[in-house]
Amino acid sequence: MDKYSEEQLLARLRDPKTQREAFATLVAEYSERLYWQIRKMVLSHEDSNDILQEVFIKAWTNIDNFRGESKLTTWLYRIAINESITFLNKKRTQNNISVDDENSFLLSRLEGDQYFNGDEAQKLLQRAILTLPDKQRLVFQMKYFDEMKYEEMSEILSTSVGALKASYHHAVKKIENFLTDSN
């Protein structure tokens, strides 16, 4: 963080005199990382922006309840992941999509997104990732794309490091199998 450490930022967020400025710093600092975490889950640029706004609204309205038992980053990621899952569940319900049909639904959203400019290899990888269950997909993306440490993922997802390692291993195997079968 450029201007403040996380502890300093948190202190500024708790002080009514500096809260607004500190929150603007928080938004500037975390927007891009949170956007890409959300985008990996919901795939659509437009939806990701909407969810990101919801994340910051939730963070703003609940900042006084943040007890500092986890890092601020962890708290924000948890909100972003929960908002993304809520969004996906709402979309499934609205569009009457079964879990089995979800892969093709999400893939069609990805391919229809004007901001997705991936080549065939990237589309194939995305197809493979979309075959994973939500939690496994999330773990794979956090480890593979974000290069997040298991300990940090454990805090965000409230899951043991061992379970996360197993989940990642299974995800990699499923993706490898998918890619092998696609050739």
The series of mean pLDDT values per 10 residues for the chain, 183 residues long, is 76 92 94 92 89 96 87 92 88 66 56 56 80 88 89 92 96 92 78
pLDDT of residue 34: 94
Same-domain check for residues 136 and 81? no
Separation CA 48–CA 50 (nearest Å): 5
Q: Do residues 126 and 107 lie in contact, with contact meaning Cβ atoms separated by under 8 Å?
A: yes
Question: Which range marks the domain in which residue 81 is found?
Answer: 1-104
State the total domains in the chain.
Answer: 2
Residue (of 138, 110, 115) closest to 126 by Cα position? 110
Same-domain check for residues 12 and 97? yes
Q: How far apart are the first and last CA of the chain?
A: 44
Same-domain check for residues 98 and 161? no
Q: What is the DSSP letter of 146?
A: T
pLDDT of residue 5: 86
Task: Write down the residue that tokens 């938004």 correspond to.
Answer: 27
At 172, list the tokens.
């990699």
Q: Is residue 126 in a domain?
A: yes
Question: CA dihedral defined by 144, 149, 152, 168, rounded to 10 degrees?
Answer: 50
At 34, list the tokens.
């949170």
Residue (of 131, 120, 135) closest to 175 by Cα position? 131
> Is this prediction's pTM over 0.85?
no
Same-domain check for residues 95 and 147? no
Q: Do residues 128 and 179 lie in contact, with contact meaning Cβ atoms separated by under 8 Å?
A: yes
Same-domain check for residues 168 and 79? no
Select from 104, 132, 166 the last residue of a domain: 104
Backbone angles phi, psi at 76, to 5 degrees: -65, -40
pLDDT of residue 54: 96
pLDDT of residue 97: 57
